[in-house]
């Protein structure tokens, strides 16, 4: 049994209807995966009132079955699930396709949050959480995944990114990128030679003016692992000490 209330109470007078689903072409299908029926009911209620179509599952196998039967536009996934944990569920979802995932984690479990990002989660929310904040995070991720892509492919240093097709290649070989890794690579290719702070990358790529900056760090590390010859000595995505990161299409001396 859980010892802590997993979500924060909503201030008096607030309503789930106050949370908008943002600019979207239509309602998104969101799969909520949590073994706590109270949490699942609250989260599903807020997402429903925000205009989303909500499915629910109480464990990993049920979540995978629901996702196969009715492919979601986004998954809200609890890390602590019985049997198959959220990390394994996220891995299996990512194997099927680039569905965005917002993971729910316990406060203070930094290692688990980093692992969640490394297996492909696009964002995480720590418990206890505000249901309204969770809906805002969900909408932020959906807006980025449904945003209008750049009209032309980008290419540099043997890398190509086709935003319209959501396809990236390295030396002609297609890269297996998560949605956020793809967006980050496209942003770097579109702004070669310019250094960006992590705060700027979070704002421009994630669309957030708030959040844990380790999210950016983890995604840069994962992206380096897929585009660099030697990720431990990156030549393309360079660390600019005291600033952030810069994409160097020339690929000079390693950091």
Q: What is the CATH number that goes with domain 154-247? A: 1.10.10.10
Indicate the pLDDT class of residue 164, thresholds 50, 70 and 90: confident
In the chain, ranges of CATH 1.10.10.10 domains = 154-247
Q: What pLDDT digit, counting tens, does each position of 177-227 carry?
A: 887 888 899 999 999 999 999 999 988 888 777 667 888 998 999 999 999
Record the tokens describing residue 84, joined without a space.
């198959």
- Does the structure show a pLDDT above 80 at 116? no
Does the structure show a pLDDT above 70 at 20?
no
Name the segment(s) of the chain with CATH classification 3.40.50.2300: 16-145
Rounded Cα–Cα distance for residues 9 and 59 (Å): 25
147 — pLDDT class (breaks 50, 70, 90):
low
What are the C-alpha distances in Å from 64 to residues 57, 103, 208, 225, 255? 9, 15, 29, 27, 41
**pLDDT score recorded for residue 194:** 94
pLDDT of residue 71: 93
Of 255 and 47, the structure prediction assigns the larger pLDDT to 47
Confidence at residue 8, expressed as pLDDT on a 0 to 100 scale: 58
Cβ 79 vs Cβ 35: under 8 Å: no
The residue with greater pLDDT, 40 or 24, is 40
Superfamily of domain 16-145: Response regulator (3.40.50.2300)
């Amino acid at each position: 049994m859980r010892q802590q209330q997993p979500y924060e109470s909503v201030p008096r007078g607030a309503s789930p209807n106050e949370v908008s689903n943002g600019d979207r072409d239509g309602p998104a299908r969101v799969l909520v995966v949590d073994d706590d029926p109270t949490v699942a009911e609250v989260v599903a209620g807020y997402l429903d009132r925000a205009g989303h179509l909500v499915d629910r599952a109480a464990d990993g196998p049920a979540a995978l079955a629901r996702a196969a039967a009715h492919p979601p536009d986004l998954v809200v996934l609890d890390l602590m699930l019985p049997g198959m944990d959220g990390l394994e569920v996220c891995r299996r979802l990512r194997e099927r396709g680039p569905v965005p995932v917002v993971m729910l984690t316990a406060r203070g479990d930094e290692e688990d949050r980093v692992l969640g990002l490394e297996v492909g989660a696009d964002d995480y929310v720590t418990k206890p959480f505000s249901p309204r904040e969770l809906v805002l995070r969900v909408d932020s991720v959906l807006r980025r995944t449904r945003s209008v892509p750049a009209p032309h492919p980008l290419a540099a240093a043997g890398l190509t990114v086709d935003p319209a097709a959501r396809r990236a290649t390295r030396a002609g070989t297609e890269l297996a990128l998560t949605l956020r890794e793809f967006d980050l690579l496209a942003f770097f290719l579109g702004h070669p030679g310019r250094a960006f702070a992590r705060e700027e990358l979070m704002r421009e790529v994630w669309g957030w003016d708030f959040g844990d900056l380790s999210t950016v760090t983890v995604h840069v590390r994962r992206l380096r692992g897929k585009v660099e010859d030697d990720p431990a000595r990156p030549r393309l995505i360079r660390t600019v000490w005291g600033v952030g990161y810069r994409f160097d299409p020339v690929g000079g001396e390693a950091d």
